[in-house]
Amino acid sequence: MNPFALSFLILGLGLIGWLTARARALRFDRGGAKRLHSLPAQHGWFVAMWTMLPPLLFLVVWSAVTPGLVRQTVLQSPAAAGLSDFAFERDSVLAQAREVARNPFDTEADPLARKLAPVVRDARSRYAWTGAIAAILLAFAGAVFALSRIRADFRARSKVERTLMMGLLVASLIAILTTLGIFASLFWESTRFFGQVPITQFLFGTHWSPQVIDAKNPGASLGAVPLFWGTFFIGAVIAMLVAIPFGLMSAVYLTQYASATTRRWMKPTLEMLAGVPTVVYGYFAALTVAPAVRKLAVALGDQFASSESALAAGLVMGVMIIPFVSSMADDSLAAVPSSMRDGSLAMGATTSETISRVLIPAALPGVVAGVLLAVSRAIGETMIVVMAASGAATITLNPLQSATTVTKQIVDLLTGEAEFDSPKTLAAFALGLTLFVITLLLNIVALRVVKRYREAYD
């Protein structure tokens, strides 16, 4: 039976269960001496859940165990007698048999596989039917059990609430577990990498050229310092030189000078910058800013200036994170009690003196936290550097030269033909892990600072 049809059938049964339960509960409501504890619809949900959840859970488990069962059956069938004893060959034939079972006109398959294919098909459909029938029986059993429990004083509401709560808990755990899973896989692949390349060579080596790797000493061309430098230079220096002053100034303007009307349209507009897809910034960097920067470099006397420069990527990245800095700075300026401002103005300070001598120092922790978050965002940013920075891993202080970043190199390492356990590919995971750890630390520090600061003014 088609899994979609089956799911619909179960949903249909759930609906019928819901309607029946509600009707029953309503009858109690009218005829009964006692008041219903829960609303009729809640009884409906109670029954619907009992009707649908057990078979659906069962189907999930069943679909996970079915391939194993099918394999077991096929191996025990008489047609399997001709199979090789070598696990590798046997698995290959079985895989082909599964292919043929799906597509009988695959004529290139192994003859033994063609012979096994009908067995596979039979076993599959048998287990599918068994599962479907069991699921439907479960649905009925659940419905009957739940319906039998409906009484006037039955606490359907709390049962439904509890189930919903469990559902929400599972949903929130999934996000956390996924993060942990990603971290674990990064960590695992990285340990494989560090099995081939010493960690010190990777972290402190200054030569990066994954295109030419010496098989005997792969670490020699996998020193990540140029990438760390490029990332730092583009994301934490150039981008911040743009984002901090502009973000701070716009926050000061919005909180201290702008009229309520100006603030009402300007703040959302600024925040909209944060919603622009980064690929759009990438275009802007590659097509508009990079050529302009190149012209500048040529005008400054560098005839062979590359069109890909750290400056172009960094400038655009800075614009991209202005809203982060400005909205954090805005929040922390707004959190400074207005009595500070009044106190300073009453001393005869001008507005700008008040801002620079009292408000910004008082809001500094929040601003610093905003900057840290912005840095962590900037160094994880990929699209802009992929489109506007080059792959040349140089350590330079000249913003007009090209530079590369960790993210850009990860993309380069994983695109193109990749062998899965060459040091070159595995290096991508090590880079990813490093980036992950750094951004995590930045975020933790920033959140701590913000928290400490909140407590200070409560």
Partner 1 sequence: MTAPSPAPHKMSARDVSVFYGDNHAVRGVSIDIDMDKVTAFIGPSGCGKSTFLRTFNRMNDTIASARVTGEITLDGEDIYSPNMDVVQLRARVGMVFQKPNPFPKSIFENVAYGPRIHGLASSKTDLEGIVERSLKRAGLWEEVKDRLSDSGTALSGGQQQRLCIARAIAVDPEVILMDEPASALDPIATAKIEELIHELRGRYAIVIVTHNMQQAARVSQRTAFFHLGHLVEYGETDNLFTAPREERTKDYITGRYG
Residues in touch with partner 1 (CB under 8 A): 259, 337, 339-350, 353, 357-358, 361-362, 456
Query: Residue 72: which of 125, 10, 120, 128 has the closest Cα?
Result: 120
Per-residue CA distances from 40 to 43, 50, 141, 143, 162 (Å): 5, 16, 21, 16, 17
Minimum distance from CB of 357 to partner 1 (Å)? 7
Minimum distance from CB of 356 to partner 1 (Å)? 11
Q: Would you call 304 helix, strand, or coil by DSSP? A: coil
Residue 267 or 377: which CB sits closer to partner 1? 267
Minimum distance from CB of 366 to partner 1 (Å)? 12
Quote the CA–CA distance of 123 and 75 in Å, as a whole number: 11
CB 229 within 8 A of CB 395: yes
Minimum distance from CB of 244 to partner 1 (Å)? 21
Residue 23 or 347: which CB sits closer to partner 1? 347
Residue 136 or 340: which CB sits closer to partner 1? 340
Query: Residue 395: which of 235, 230, 234, 240 has the closest Cα?
Result: 230
The DSSP letter of residue 208 is B
Residue 357 or 451: which CB sits closer to partner 1? 357
Residue 347 or 447: which CB sits closer to partner 1? 347
Torsion sign, CA atoms 252, 257, 258, 263: positive
Minimum distance from CB of 363 to partner 1 (Å)? 10
Quote the CA–CA distance of 403 and 379 in Å, as a whole number: 13
Residue 301 or 348: which CB sits closer to partner 1? 348
Minimum distance from CB of 360 to partner 1 (Å)? 11
Q: Which residues contact 240 (CB under 8 A, 6 or more apart)?
A: 318, 371, 374, 375, 378
Minimum distance from CB of 327 to partner 1 (Å)? 22
Residue 291 or 361: which CB sits closer to partner 1? 361
